[in-house]
Chain A
């Protein structure tokens, strides 16, 4: 493994974060040398290579292009007629914190007891035996961000994980990945707390809540730099980490006007919003989002289930891309995460119908390099560049066809899932006993 420790010190350099608790114990599968030959390759960073080869050695991408020679002992796979993409990255998942089976006993995604719970960490709710992880792997997902829910204004820290089955959350934590912090706009926080007869019960109450939190965080951060460090405070530690640029803000926000308010709050307190999530109305302010350099993580077609989703349109993703802003397709669903390629296909097709001509080599970025950037792991994964982790999907055809299926999913250069090899079709502990006759 390259650099995990360096990553850690890089992201958690300030005094309060000198020791990183709950360190990753992630171990890749034993790597193989693999040569995928004669495939259509979407690199994830905007290129399409036809009839090209990809070589994985010791867990990393070693070579990409035409006429790559197989090293001795390499597994050579004829990928003629097949497509190769980077491993899919979902930056909005609740796998593990709202796992299957969905029961009260498993409902660990919202600490809905206070509107600001910056002190909680999603990883402490993650149940690594959620069968959803394996289903997502079968759909090509190699990295995902698990977020707290959206009941709170500030919901707590997210965790970014490698989608290789593990016994514990530490086993799947992405080594060196920065933390994210979940914030939420709109209907959910005001409904949850207004329903309890306390603040916030309105959108203006929401905004007062964020600003109060940032005022306290700024004060704490100033003290951290002073002569007498304050008593450690988990909540303020996370918020101060955002102000220091070490923790990335992932902001659930549907409406354009609320996104604009959040951008101003970020300016007021000097932090950056990495991505809005859901962003159903991003198309209305795509120019502003491009200027601000903020990503929008979107669905292809969810709409209307609540009032703040009423103005959802199929062209949202394509219009954000066309404005030059950062577009991401996310799932927020244990079913949707299994076919993010199809969600991209729908969004791409919707754009084309109105003259926004986006090709597969561009659209694949919505579920690879762009989410990798939003998670701060783009140096490690998200595109097929030499030296990056060998996170790769071999598809049986164009992945934007409804009939496409992942044949082999490589994580760190090893076959984490192989449809054709029963030894490489993992199952979680929970699924033992419940025989499904071979397939899910």
Chain B
């Protein structure tokens, strides 16, 4: 994708205040930069004050640097969940901790999840120690046809966690969109058209609207305001949609309003791959979906990612979930086993999703360190991070889960578990 960076706000988080005043050298590693430099073998990465100072095979280790060395080390950009709920759901089934949907709210497009994000969520530590450094945080769009605005966060914890807001407008199409709109897909698309055309009318007649001299709109002022960057092409619509016919309806809407769209889900996207490629519409997907789980994904196949890529469609992986974004790399490995080239699969779990939302997370000199050092092939199940850097800071590799583990791994002694 060659989308330009959208809002100036997008760059806001690029400068970090987290950077530790430390010099670190990762030596003897295979570095998948995912940038123009490609893959470097037996390379050294030097991080100074939270920034990548140098990457290369001829790079020398600065005096006093903390050295990260080991056999078969592999360095990649961080994993990126291109459609998740990190930070807005703690325990799915405990209502008070679940801000993923606002079904009883009067608002739709105007809802932005930023104020619901908890950067101290336990999910963040659990996932970042396994290499997830950034995530789209999206409302589920279960409550409204237009569920609200998704953002991008990093998993650095409290501080500079917001990377981009808004990053996308979440729209629910297909069966769920139909039921949210009165029972038919036709009603869902009509409602979406009404929202966009009202928003356009509103932008041209704001002062008349303020005077009460304009016709009533079906949506509130805040929702109509929130649709302005969508109409301008600054914020894409991410449509949760599986059925090929529903994707085609989405493409008609795209042409009609000249908005940017991204498919999320897309189990049948491979059937319309040529159209998606021609119109530069990326697909965010879970490559493990290969069952006809409903009548809108009768043609689901595990080869979806490989076929989309072969047709020239940009593919990024998203969990559409919260707790196990850490398994994105397993999903990527499975996509490889079903025909997706390895480097494309690694990209789909890292830089591609970021790029789809206007963030460049490839490894290059001068950038804030956001990378993972693995002890082997990052897509393999036995591999694990030995170091994770987010927003310039080295992440302590502990979580509530490692604390639980350590408490129960210790041999029983005089005192019970609660004292360990």
Where the two chains meet, the residues of A that have a C-beta atom closer than 8 Å to any C-beta of B are 100-103, 131-132, 135, 187, 283-284, 301-307, 310-315, 319, 334-335, 338-339, 342, 345-346, 348-349, 352-354, 400-405, 430-431, 434-437, 439-440
B92's contact among A284, A306, A400, A439, by CB below 8 Å, is which?
A306
A345's contact among B302, B381, B405, B417, by CB below 8 Å, is which?
B381
A354 touches B93 (CB 8 A): no
Where the two chains meet, the residues of B that have a C-beta atom closer than 8 Å to any C-beta of A are 90-94, 122-123, 126, 270, 288-295, 298-303, 307, 322-324, 326-327, 330, 333-334, 336-338, 379-384, 401-402, 404-405, 408-409, 417
B408 touches A349 (CB 8 A): no
| Cβ contacts under 8 Å, A306 to chain B | 91-94
B291 touches A305 (CB 8 A): no
B301's contact among A311, A354, A436, by CB below 8 Å, is which?
A436
| Cβ contacts under 8 Å, A187 to chain B | 93
For the complex, give the distance between the alpha carbons of A81 and B299 in Å.
34
The 9 closest A-B pairs by CB, nearest first: A402-B333, A306-B93, A345-B381, A434-B298, A349-B382, A436-B301, A100-B291, A305-B92, A304-B323
- How far, in Å, is A152 (CB) from chain B's closest CB? 18
Q: Which of A334, A353, A435, A439 counts the most chain B CB atoms within 10 A?
A: A439
- How far, in Å, is B124 (CB) from chain A's closest CB? 12
A303's contact among B289, B291, B401, by CB below 8 Å, is which?
B401
| Cβ contacts under 8 Å, B379 to chain A | 402
Interface of B is mostly: loop
| Cβ contacts under 8 Å, B292 to chain A | 100-101, 131, 430-431, 434
B93 touches A402 (CB 8 A): no
For the complex, give the distance between the alpha carbons of A352 and B375 in Å.
13
| Cβ contacts under 8 Å, B384 to chain A | 349, 353
For the complex, give the distance between the alpha carbons of A339 and B333 in Å.
12
For the complex, give the distance between the alpha carbons of A352 and B384 in Å.
11
For the complex, give the distance between the alpha carbons of A310 and B382 in Å.
24
B302 touches A314 (CB 8 A): no
A319-B409, A401-B380 as given contacts; A101 in contact with B295, CB under 8 Å:
yes
A440 touches B302 (CB 8 A): yes
- How far, in Å, is B396 (CB) from chain A's closest CB? 16
Apart from the given pairs A335-B288, A400-B381, A402-B380, 15 other A-B contacts in the complex at a CB distance below 8 Å: A100-B292, A101-B294, A283-B405, A303-B126, A304-B92, A304-B123, A312-B401, A315-B409, A335-B289, A345-B382, A349-B383, A430-B292, A436-B303, A440-B291, A440-B300
In chain A, what residue has the closest Cβ to B403?
Answer: A313
A306-B94, A339-B334 as given contacts; A311 in contact with B409, CB under 8 Å:
no
| Cβ contacts under 8 Å, A315 to chain B | 405, 409
For the complex, give the distance between the alpha carbons of A101 and B299 in Å.
11
